[in-house]
Amino acid sequence: MTATTGGTPLTTERRRLVQSLASTVSVGRRLRDRVFFGLLILSLLIALVTLFALLIDTFLTGQTRLNSDLVQNMPSGRPARAGIQSAIFGSLWVVGLAGAVSLPLGVATAVYLEDFAPKGRWYISLIELNVQNLAGVPSVVFGILGLAFIARGPFSWGFTVGTGAMVLTILVLPTVVVASREAIRAVPPSLRDGALALGATRWQTIWRQVLPSAVPGIATGSILSVSRALGESAPLLLLGALTFVTFNPDGLDSSFTVLPLLIFKYASDAKAEFHVVAAAAIIVLLIMLLTMNTAAILIRNRYQNRRS
Amino acid sequence: MSEVSVTPEPTTVRPEIHVRADTAADGAEEAEVVLDVDQLSVYYGAFRAVRGVDLKIRRSEITAFIGPSGCGKSTVLRCFNRMNDLIPGARVEGTIRYHGIDLYGDQANAGEVRRRIGMVFQKPNPFPKSIYENVAFGLKVNGIRDKAEIEQTVERSLKRAALWDEVKDRLKTPASGLSGGQQQRLCIARAIAIDPEILLMDEPCSALDPIATTRIEDLMQEIKVDFTIIIVTHNMQQAARVSDRTAFFTTEINEESDRRTGVLVEFDRTEKMYSNPSDIRTENYVTGRFG
């Protein structure tokens, strides 16, 4: 170290100081740093490689059947002619309805809990506790609930699209509420103060300032919820979605089937040709998920860009 | 040691100003009282944060609240536009009369109160929208729909806040792109757009550099003709520069609970407060012996 500082040559004291600055971190500590970083990269790689291995395997298995026939044909006993159209439309109907109902309900509940509910009352704490608990309940429980009360029991809607959509709504609602609450809570109080100080009512403040600010978080929450709903099989199994359905739903009272269950049916069939169809169907499911997620991300980004 | 500076003459071109019919001229006659505060105490739950405040705020004057930290200046200020309603457990005793109407009475709706008594906060808090939308927001939530009227009011408010020239070419760009001083002037423009009678300013310059601070102090002198201003400030020199009257608050320690309660020590014309205060505590504060 022969650098000079400020034009004056280094004294031994200064030289020692500069040297110690350069090697403040001992060799041992630097090595530990590198090892830690290496472990992080390794974990990331394990996750990514596993995911890609599965994806590539599925793609290679199913690619021969990945054509328009798959989407245009209905399920059939003959593997060469088997398609998945009824399942695609069944999924779109049921999940679409569930999303359309759970999103406004969930956001409204979150708004109430955050901005209108009197804080600290026992019944409010009870509601909050239950909402958070419900988010962790295994989905098959909702299926049993739907079977007992909606398909049969008081509602008696039978094994229909309406039943499936309602059960999925209940299943997905807690997640939407929790995610929306986090998003609303993340809006800084200074924003609310600024709006209220101009004479805005509580509702005006929420509708015009808080909710628009919370859209990115709410959009993320709804992506997660709808994606989960698309992949649900256990609850819908209990609601009759595994029946051999060869038509698209045409109303709330139709029978239906969904993609995950049809994949399961094909994948567990004795004939190996059906497994190929199952793999192709998995790819279709993934494409649907990707499309929905991308749409929601685009919405989120558009809101974020408009505001900064 | 303490000096009162001469109020500078505004040098910018005055936009169209409507003169209020009963604006009192400077001189022996006192201006009309717009806010009459009578034995105001503020409680957070069981804790009394401020006790026994008596004040009269007069039209077209700038009143400064000064005092050490935690003595209740901002708490009292926030009572004037009912922002304390937002704090759970906050409670007010005593009365605050706005032109004779009790602000906390049955006749007063919080939103309507805030429309007439506006506020500028310590940290500039522009909405994450465009500059235009920021100023227009107050108009829209108060029912003004006519686009032409909104445009005119936005321009007028930005001019009065001495911000128009700097932003007129980029009204639709996000407000977050402005500097701190510009953002605060935007918040002032936003507040005056709805034409309040009183403007509350809670340490508006504490987050700004000295040059931005000076611009806002000049702005206050310009707009005080139309708006009665109450400013909370930690800066004694600022209070001396801008205000007509000053209220000095301090804290008293409650022997039993060992907690501090804010009290109003003295309230008088600024010249008197700084040159010849009546209370020894005021004297100690303004001469810098404490705080």
Domain contains A167: yes
**What is the interface pTM, i.e. ipTM, of the complex?**
0.83
Give the model confidence (pLDDT) of A116-143 as tens digits.
888 778 988 898 899 889 988 999 999 9
Tokens for B202, please give them: 């809670």
pLDDT computed for residue B2 by the predictor: 44
Name which of A24-28, A217-221, B136-140, B260-264 the model is least confident about. A24-28
pLDDT band at A6 (very low <50, low <70, confident <90, very high): low
Q: What's the CA gap between B60 and B19, in Å, rounded?
A: 11
Determine what percent of chain A is predicted with pLDDT higher than 70.
94
Q: Higher model confidence: residue B2 or residue A149?
A: A149
What letter represents residue B163's amino acid? L
Per-residue pLDDT averaged across B227-240, rounded? Answer: 91
- Given an 8 Å threshold on Cβ–Cβ distance, is A195 in contact with B190? no
CB A90 within 8 A of CB A257: yes
Domain contains A20: no
What is the layout of strands, in order, in the sheet containing B117-120?
B101-102, B90-98, B33-44, B47-58, B260-269, B245-253, B62-66, B228-232, B198-202, B117-120
Please name which of B74, B101, B106 lies closest in space to residue B90, comparing C-alpha atoms: B74
- Given an 8 Å threshold on Cβ–Cβ distance, is B83 in contact with A204? no
pLDDT computed for residue B40 by the predictor: 94
Domain contains A198: yes
Query: Is B233 exposed, middle or buried (CB count within 10 Å of its CB: 0-12, 13-18, 19+)?
Result: buried
Per-residue pLDDT averaged across A69-95, rounded? Answer: 87
Which letter does DSSP use for residue A268 in this model? T
Name which of A59-63, B121-125, B263-267 the model is least confident about. A59-63
Per-residue pLDDT averaged across A220-224, rounded? Answer: 85
CB-nearest partner of A194 from B125, B142, B194: B125
Minimum distance, in Å, between the CA of residue A191 and any CA atom of chain B: 6
- Given an 8 Å threshold on Cβ–Cβ distance, is B138 in contact with A199? yes
pLDDT band at B13 (very low <50, low <70, confident <90, very high): very low
Determine what percent of chain B is predicted with pLDDT higher than 70.
89
What is the extent of the structural domain holding A193?
Answer: 68-306
Give the model confidence (pLDDT) of A21-73 as tens digits.
666 667 788 889 999 999 999 999 999 999 999 999 999 988 888 888 888 88
- Tell me which residues of chain B have a C-beta less than 8 Å from any C-beta of chain A: 81, 83, 86, 88, 111-112, 114-115, 118-119, 121, 123, 125-129, 137-138, 140-142, 174, 176, 187, 190-191, 194
- SS3 labels along chain B: CCCCCCCCCCCCCCCCCCCCCCCCCCCCCCCCEEEEEEEEEEEECCEEEEEEEEEEEECCCEEEEECCCCCCHHHHHHHHCCHHHHCCCEEEEEEEEECCEECCCCCCCHHHHHHHEEEECCCCCCCCCEHHHHHHHHHHHCCCCCHHHHHHHHHHHHHHCCCHHHHCCCCCCEHHHCCHHHHHHHHHHHHHHCCCCEEEEECCCCCCCHHHHHHHHHHHHHHCCCCEEEEECCCHHHHHHHCCEEEEEEEEECCCCCCEEEEEEEEEEHHHHHHCCCCHHHHHHHCCCCC
- Given an 8 Å threshold on Cβ–Cβ distance, is B191 in contact with A198? yes
pLDDT computed for residue B232 by the predictor: 96
Minimum distance, in Å, between the CA of residue A48 and any CA atom of chain B: 37
Longest alpha-carbon distance in chain A: 93
Give the model confidence (pLDDT) of B183-220 as tens digits.
999 999 999 999 999 999 999 999 889 999 999 999 99
pLDDT computed for residue B16 by the predictor: 32
Q: Is the Cα dihedral A218, A219, A224, A230 positive or negative?
A: positive
- Domain total of chain A: 1
Q: Give the global pTM.
A: 0.79
pLDDT band at B9 (very low <50, low <70, confident <90, very high): very low
The residue written with tokens 């009678």 in the block is: B197
Determine what percent of chain B is predicted with pLDDT higher than 90.
61
Q: Is A8 helix (H, G, I), strand (E, B) or coil?
A: strand
Query: Is B206 exposed, middle or buried (CB count within 10 Å of its CB: 0-12, 13-18, 19+)?
Result: middle
Whether pLDDT at A2 is above 80: no
Domain contains A298: yes
Q: Which residues of B touch A194 (CB under 8 A)?
A: 121, 125-127, 187, 190
Q: What's the CA gap between A85 and B98, in Å, rounded?
A: 70
Whether pLDDT at A193 is above 50: yes
Q: Higher model confidence: residue B24 or residue B258?
A: B258
pLDDT band at B17 (very low <50, low <70, confident <90, very high): very low
pLDDT band at A305 (very low <50, low <70, confident <90, very high): confident
Name which of A73-82, B29-38, B43-52, B119-128 the model is least confident about. A73-82
CATH class of segment(s) B33-286:
alpha beta
Q: What's the CA gap between A66 and B118, in Å, rounded?
A: 64
pLDDT computed for residue A112 by the predictor: 93
Q: Higher model confidence: residue A293 or residue A144?
A: A144
Domain contains A62: no
Give the model confidence (pLDDT) of A231-276 as tens digits.
888 999 998 887 788 888 888 888 899 999 999 989 988 888 888 8
Report how many Cβ contacts below 8 Å link chain A to chain B.
70
Per-residue pLDDT averaged across B105-109, rounded? Answer: 88
Name which of A47-61, A242-256, B98-112, B123-137 the model is least confident about. A242-256
- Given an 8 Å threshold on Cβ–Cβ distance, is A191 in contact with B174? no
pLDDT band at B12 (very low <50, low <70, confident <90, very high): very low
Q: What are the boundaries of each domain within chain B?
A: 33-286
Minimum distance, in Å, between the CA of residue B24 and any CA atom of chain A: 27
Identify from B78, B127, B135, B145 which residue to disrupt to test chain A contact, counting A C-beta atoms within 10 A and taking the largest count: B127
Q: How far apart are the first and last CA of chain A?
A: 47
Output the CA–CA distances (angstroms, integers) from residue A261 to A219, A282, B103, B214, B228, in the order listed: 27, 11, 64, 70, 70
Domain contains A264: yes
Domain contains A106: yes
pLDDT computed for residue A38 by the predictor: 95
Q: What is the mean pLDDT of chain B?
A: 86
Nearest CA in chain A to B89: A119
Which letter does DSSP use for residue A136 in this model? T
Identify from A115, A198, A302 which residue to disrupt to test chain B contact, counting B C-beta atoms within 10 A and taking the largest count: A198
pLDDT computed for residue A145 by the predictor: 92
pLDDT computed for residue B205 by the predictor: 92
Please name which of A150, A160, A157, A159 lies closest in space to residue A249, comparing C-alpha atoms: A160
Give the model confidence (pLDDT) of B144-181 as tens digits.
999 999 999 999 999 999 999 999 999 999 999 999 99
Whether pLDDT at A5 is above 70: no
Q: What's the CA gap between A194 and B131, in Å, rounded?
A: 14
pLDDT computed for residue A43 by the predictor: 96
CB-nearest partner of B127 from A119, A194, A199: A194
Minimum distance, in Å, between the CA of residue A308 and any CA atom of chain B: 6
Whether pLDDT at A11 is above 90: no
Identify from B121, B125, B140, B153 which residue to disrupt to test chain A contact, counting A C-beta atoms within 10 A and taking the largest count: B125
CB B238 within 8 A of CB B57: no
- Given an 8 Å threshold on Cβ–Cβ distance, is B121 in contact with A199? no
Q: Which residues of A touch B135 (CB under 8 A)?
A: none
Per-residue pLDDT averaged across A196-221, rounded? Answer: 92
Please give the helix or strand (H or E) that residue A267 lies within, else none.
helix A259-267
Q: Higher model confidence: residue A11 or residue A282?
A: A282
Domain contains A48: no
Which letter does DSSP use for residue A41 in this model? H
B268-276: which pairs have CB atoms within 8 A and are 24 or more residues apart?
B269/B244, B269/B245, B270/B4, B270/B64, B270/B239, B270/B240, B270/B243, B270/B244, B270/B245, B270/B246, B271/B4, B273/B246, B273/B248, B274/B2, B274/B3, B274/B4, B274/B240, B274/B246, B275/B2, B275/B4
Q: What is the CATH number of the domain that holds A255?
A: 1.10.3720.10
Q: Higher model confidence: residue B254 or residue B90?
A: B90
